[in-house]
């Protein structure tokens, strides 16, 4: 039986056979992208190359990228949504385009995965006159040929949302449905963001299956992109060829393919199993929950099982990539995942702590694909158990507060329930349950009222995160590249001034500053800081060339190239050297994917603005361009 490990391998082999370099997954927390908290799609780490920077591995790249979509947290519970997933991806960076891409993906699905072509359907971009972007008849034409080769009828249907399936095979969707960018539809894209029409492939599980409990399917015509669950999107080819500018959409310097398909979803199609939680990546977690909950996974309790399984897998992956549960940024989401899992555990009647063990189960499942999880299993387990216990105590406190606040009153108000939820994470359901125990009246519309308060709150935080996304996409890219090179200069200067015990531990760049963590046992003196600054500014003044070479990893390391996380890199690596001669006369050599400036002079003068400790033996410096 085809399992996830084999499917992943088949996909990578298939594209390697067609000239693609296979690259490892980037971490779930983007390394040098201040505009978003998580890697939410396979293309995010590819952004500079889609915009035209030269990829050190060439113009054909494929990978399996770990992704986390925080915006889907509330969607989890149905047969197909997960917050963490693996995106199988292939890219053409100005190389092949629609014909090869669609032909290859179709061949992969049919010849490699053995899918029945008669159960595949596609959606195509319907065009937008206002934007001056035409309807994608070319893609529809290619699909007509491909299906014809398999003797399959290809009726084309317009307006599927209102007209329904109508025995169609190829469906033109209007508006933003078949458009992809990191920011969503064209109108939501900030200036400087690339995007393009896309083409999605769907698997039909069949009209006879029972999995549309939560949908409006029965009252509205079903179409391939409706939410009833009958059709599952298993791949998306984005024709990444436009750039949003202040004058509208303009062609990118090159036409790219950005393909992404969920590993879990493809596997669900292969097994003709509409519930992605029944594929091998989830089975051991579901089995374990069955054991602690003392009940089988059924359609009645499936939402709780799915939330726990999805959220814990995601939390484990995020913690293994360095995120700790906390109140801000990425850490906030890990906290939320764990807390939601605790609550859903309570709905299954689980009262004792049980989440820590899932770290080991997930680690074993991904032993081959992501060995780091198993290596860090102890610290991941500790982080999860710490948060779980903290939340259990919080719930206890919420309960006490509930008792206090309702003493002498005859009623549970939505406001009190919301305050308890906001302050203690005490769920509405528990408030209602407690109220019933104590014979308090609960108003009939408490759910609506509570939801209204929650929406108002969510709107406020969404506004904040949209602001975060917009901040800097367009205008920082040039500064970001300068800071990228400044990172190498700072690393080299610290090693010169303080000694070669200095090793980079991490970095983070925004359009305004560079943050750099490194090993060093004590606080830096003013004199040391001045010496580091002066060294960097001297190198800038010397206008040293920055050169890129692709070479074998062992050769690069032997030549003295610095690599933090050496094992993360593939055999062929990209090396950036700063100096007059990359063999004999250089000041910095590092394994790095770039992009960088071509001469240090372009960076301009810099200053160190702050220094502090982050952990025992690890210091943090902030540096700004002046």
| Binding positions for ligand SER, rule: CB under 6 A | 41-43, 89, 180, 236, 238, 258-260
Residue environment code for 299-336, b if the CB has 16+ CB neighbours within 10 A, otherwise e: eebbebbbbbbbbbbbbbbbbbbebebeeeebbebbbb
Closest CA to 76 of 241, 261, 234, 214: 214
Smallest distance from ligand SER to CB 191, Å:
20
C-alpha span between 623 and 626 (Å, rounded):
10
Name which of 200 and 388 has its Cβ closer to ligand SER.
Answer: 200
* Strands across the sheet containing 606-615: 504-509, 514-519, 618-625, 606-615
Q: How far is the CB of 482 from ligand SER (least distance, A)?
A: 27
> From the CB of 509, what's the least distance to ligand SER, in Å?
23
Closest CB to ligand SER among residues 89, 160: 89
Q: Which residues pair with 509 in a beta bridge?
A: 514
What DSSP designation does 557 have? H
Under a CB-based contact definition with an 8 Å cutoff, are residues 348 and 295 in contact? yes
Q: Among all residues, whose Cβ is closest to ligand SER?
A: 260
Q: Closest CB to ligand SER among 46 and 573?
A: 46
Closest CA to 491 of 480, 503, 481, 483: 503
Question: Are 315 and 70 contacting, i.e. CB atoms less than 8 angstroms apart?
Answer: no
Place of tokens 């508006």: 175
Nearer Cβ to ligand SER (50/289):
50
Q: Which two tokens mark 45?
A: 């780490």
CB of 42 to ligand SER, least distance (A): 5
Integer Cα distance of 197 and 135 in angstroms: 9
Give the residue with the Cβ less far from ligand SER, 42 or 472: 42
Minimum distance of ligand SER from residue 22's CB (angstroms): 16
Longest dimension (CA), the chain: 83
Contact between 219 and 236 under an 8 Å Cβ cutoff? The reply is no
**Structural contact between residues 616 and 501, judged by C-beta atoms closer than 8 angstroms:** no
Least CB distance to ligand SER at residue 53 (A): 18
Least gap, CB of 223 to ligand SER (angstroms): 19
CB of 233 to ligand SER, least distance (A): 9
Quick one: 105 or 344, whose CB is closer to ligand SER? 105
Q: Which is nearer to ligand SER, 180 or 297 (CB)?
A: 180
Beta carbon nearer to ligand SER, 41 or 508:
41
Question: For residues 605 and 580, what is the distance between their CA atoms, to the nearest angstrom?
Answer: 20
Q: Check if the beta carbon of residue 471 is closer than 8 Å to that of residue 35.
A: yes
């Amino acid at each position: 039986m085809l399992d996830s490990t084999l499917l992943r391998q088949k996909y990578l082999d298939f594209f390697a056979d067609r000239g693609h370099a296979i690259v490892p997954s980037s971490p779930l927390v983007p390394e040098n992208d201040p505009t978003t908290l998580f890697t939410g799609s396979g293309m995010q780490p590819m952004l500079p190359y889609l915009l035209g920077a030269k990829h050190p591995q060439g113009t054909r790249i494929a990978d399996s990228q770990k992704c986390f979509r925080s915006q889907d947290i509330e969607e989890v519970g149905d047969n197909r949504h997960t917050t963490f997933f693996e995106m199988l991806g292939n890219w053409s960076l100005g190389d092949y385009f629609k014909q090869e891409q669609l032909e290859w993906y179709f061949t992969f699905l049919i010849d490699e995965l053995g899918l029945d072509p008669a159960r595949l359907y596609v959606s195509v971009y319907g065009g937008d006159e206002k934007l001056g972007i035409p309807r994608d008849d070319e893609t529809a034409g290619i699909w007509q040929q491909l299906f014809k080769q398999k003797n399959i009828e290809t009726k084309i249907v317009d307006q599927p949302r209102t007209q329904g399936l109508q025995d169609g095979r190829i469906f033109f969707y209007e508006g933003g449905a078949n458009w992809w960018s990191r920011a969503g539809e064209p109108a939501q894209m900030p200036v400087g963001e690339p995007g393009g029409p896309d083409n999605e492939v769907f698997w039909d599980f069949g009209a006879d299956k029972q999995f549309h409990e939560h949908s409006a399917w029965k009252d509205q015509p079903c179409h391939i992109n409706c939410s009833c669950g009958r059709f599952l999107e298993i791949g998306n080819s984005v024709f990444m060829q436009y750039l949003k500018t202040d004058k509208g959409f303009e062609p990118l310097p090159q036409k790219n393919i950005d393909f992404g398909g969920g590993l879990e979803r493809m596997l669900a199609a292969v097994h003709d199993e509409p519930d992605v939680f029944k594929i091998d990546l989830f089975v051991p977690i579901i089995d374990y929950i069955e054991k602690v909950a003392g009940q089988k996974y059924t359609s009645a309790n499936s939402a709780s099982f799915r939330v726990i399984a999805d959220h814990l897998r995601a939390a484990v992956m995020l913690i293994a990539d360095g995120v700790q549960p906390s109140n801000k940024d990425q850490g906030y989401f890990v906290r939320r995942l764990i807390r939601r899992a605790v609550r859903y555990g309570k709905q299954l009647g689980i009262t004792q702590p049980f989440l820590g063990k899932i770290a080991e189960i997930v680690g074993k499942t991904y032993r081959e694909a992501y060995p780091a999880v198993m290596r860090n299993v102890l610290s991941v387990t500790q982080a999860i158990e710490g948060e779980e216990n903290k939340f259990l105590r919080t719930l206890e406190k919420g309960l006490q507060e509930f008792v206090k606040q309702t003493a002498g009153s005859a009623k549970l108000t939505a406001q009190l329930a919301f305050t308890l939820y906001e302050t203690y994470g005490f769920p509405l359901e528990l408030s209602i349950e407690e109220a019933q125990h104590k014979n308090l009246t609960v108003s009939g519309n408490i759910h609506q009222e509570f939801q209204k308060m929650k929406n108002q709150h969510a709107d406020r935080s969404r506004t904040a995160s949209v602001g975060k996304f917009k901040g800097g996409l367009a205008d920082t890219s040039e500064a970001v590249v300068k800071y990228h090179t400044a990172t190498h200069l700072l690393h080299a200067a610290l090693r010169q001034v303080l000694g070669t015990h200095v090793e980079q531990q991490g970095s983070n760049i925004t359009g305004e500053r560079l943050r750099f963590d490194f090993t060093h046992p004590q606080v830096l003196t003013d004199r040391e800081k001045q010496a580091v600054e002066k060294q960097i500014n001297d190198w800038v003044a010397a206008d040293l060339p920055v050169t890129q070479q692709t070479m074998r990893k062992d050769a690069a390391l032997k030549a003295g190239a610095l690599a933090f996380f050496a094992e993360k890199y593939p055999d062929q690596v990209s090396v950036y050297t700063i100096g007059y001669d990359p063999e004999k006369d250089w000041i910095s050599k590092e394994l790095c994917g770039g992009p960088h400036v071509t001469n240090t002079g372009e960076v301009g003068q810099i200053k160190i603005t702050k220094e502090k400790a982050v952990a025992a033996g690890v210091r943090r410096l902030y540096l700004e361009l002046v």
